[in-house]
Chain A
Amino acid sequence: MITIENLCKSYGKLQVLKNVSLEFAAGKVVSIIGPNGAGKTTLGKCLLGMALPNSGDIRLNGESVLNKHAYRRQIGYMPQIGRYPENMKIRQVIEMVRDIRKDGKVVDEELIGLYGLPDMYEKRMGALSGGTKQKVSAALAFMFDPQVLLLDEPTAGLDPISAEILKGKILKEKKKGKLILITSHIMSEVEEVADEVLCLVDGSVKFHETIARLKQQTNEERLSRAIAKIMNGEN
């Protein structure tokens, strides 16, 4: 569904992504892991066109997405730190995004309901806690029934119940044949929802495997141990 070819991206002299080539298939949950500054967020931003790659290509369903915008209709994005216009109310943000993306499709309001956002509709974005902003981000990402979901550390800052709701939603969407990309540092969570693990280190792909194969290769029961073994084994 998504093909990335020889993607390179640098900010000034700092090379963030070095020749990354990847393939993601529909109906899978892929977890992107790696140390801080490995290029996880940048990879997502390139996919969204927020950061423009220096070279390489990204294709969604066979078509290059570089310098295009209509393809973003198919992507739901939940940023790591949601930043919203401070003096807009929750209701206004949601209504605005809906107004702008009016394509006559069904609007998925499940998360808005599950998170009880209507009760807080009149609160200003600037007055919200980090976790509540995350809930708004999550609701917006899932709202337009996109084929691809890009969730950047979705559960960081969410309380356990809300995180559980989100995981349930992720699995539900996966069953509908969507591709879900999640960056995360929490291994237990990765193990719970993901099918595949993609590990980035210093802007290069360290490995991209299914969880079952990872465990098999390392003879470990738990994913965190398996990954630790691979990382230490090659160092």
Chain B
Amino acid sequence: MGKIIKYVLYDIVKSKIIIAYTLFLLLLSIGLFNLGGSPDKGLLSLLNLVLLTVPLISIVFATTHFYNSYEFIELLVAQPIDRRKIFLSEYLGVAFALSAAFLVGVGIPVLLFGASLTGVYLVLTGVFITFIFVAMAFLASVITRDKAKGIGIALMLWFYFALIYDGIVLFILYTFGDYPLEHATLAMTALNPVDLGRILVLLNLDVSALMGYTGALYKSILGSLWGISLAFGLLVVWVLAPLLWAKRIFSRKDL
């Protein structure tokens, strides 16, 4: 498996897109830390931008990479290698490369300008979001053989998790505003990895005081070690669910 990952990584590094992505994140992070006064403000702005761009770039990059690697996959499938191994190697190769770009582009500036527990959460969240959206991208890619359709599905997924979902949640909160919705809100958060990541980081910033009752409830549940482990556990589920589903489809697919 290590050998195949090596070739996948080699192919990605050669395409130079990953280097552009690293530089983009690096500029973004350094810029935001130098604009705002306090490191906390910098982290907050960075959080919002990271949660918007990292899923988008991860999912689009991973989908195009998968379709562009079709020849490579076909070549390997005729060799004595387990298909599932080929699939997981492709996944790990792409996820590692994008995570490494994120760690350099965001992790290092955070370490330099805003090293704190919140910073660590931000970096961890970003890595999880990368793994989650690469898994979703692979799911979109194995569902259809048509590249345009696959990228379409991938973009729809991003659109849903990054933008539409929050709209739906706001709509529900507004419509049912007369009812106690604290627990429902909490459950809805778990259903979107982007929101889950956002809340994990926000709770460690002072701004959570502004979030009212729901914020207080979040703080009481997610503020504890138990709650934080639960949140990260949920993120792991968000990585594994699309990944295993995609692997299942891939291992039963005609190539």
Q: Which residues of A contact B (CB under 8 A)?
A: 11, 45, 48-52, 69-73, 75, 77, 79, 83-88, 93, 96-97, 99-101
Q: Which residues of B contact A (CB under 8 A)?
A: 3-4, 7, 11, 14, 69-72, 74-83, 252-255
Known: A83-B74, A84-B71, A85-B69. A100 touches B254 (CB 8 A): no
CB-based nearest A residue for B4: A100
State in angstroms the CA–CA spacing of A30 and B76 once bound together: 26
Known: A69-B80, A97-B79. A85 touches B254 (CB 8 A): no
**Least Cβ–Cβ distance between B249 and chain A, in angstroms:** 12
Contact B77 A50 (CB under 8 A): yes
Contact A72 B80 (CB under 8 A): yes
- Which residues on the A side are within 8 Å of B72 (C-beta)? 84-85
State in angstroms the CA–CA spacing of A84 and B75 once bound together: 7
B-side interface mostly: helix
- Which residues on the B side are within 8 Å of A100 (C-beta)? 3-4, 76, 79, 81
Contact A71 B80 (CB under 8 A): yes
State in angstroms the CA–CA spacing of A163 and B74 once bound together: 25
CB-based nearest A residue for B77: A50
Known: A72-B78, A83-B71. A52 touches B3 (CB 8 A): no
CB-based nearest A residue for B72: A85
Contact B255 A73 (CB under 8 A): no
- Which residues on the B side are within 8 Å of A71 (C-beta)? 80
Contact B252 A52 (CB under 8 A): yes
Contact A51 B81 (CB under 8 A): no
A-B contact pairs, 26 of them (CB 8 A): A45-B255, A48-B78, A50-B74, A50-B78, A51-B254, A51-B255, A52-B253, A52-B254, A69-B80, A69-B81, A72-B78, A72-B80, A72-B81, A77-B78, A83-B70, A83-B71, A84-B71, A84-B75, A86-B71, A87-B11, A87-B14, A88-B11, A100-B3, A100-B76, A100-B81, A101-B80
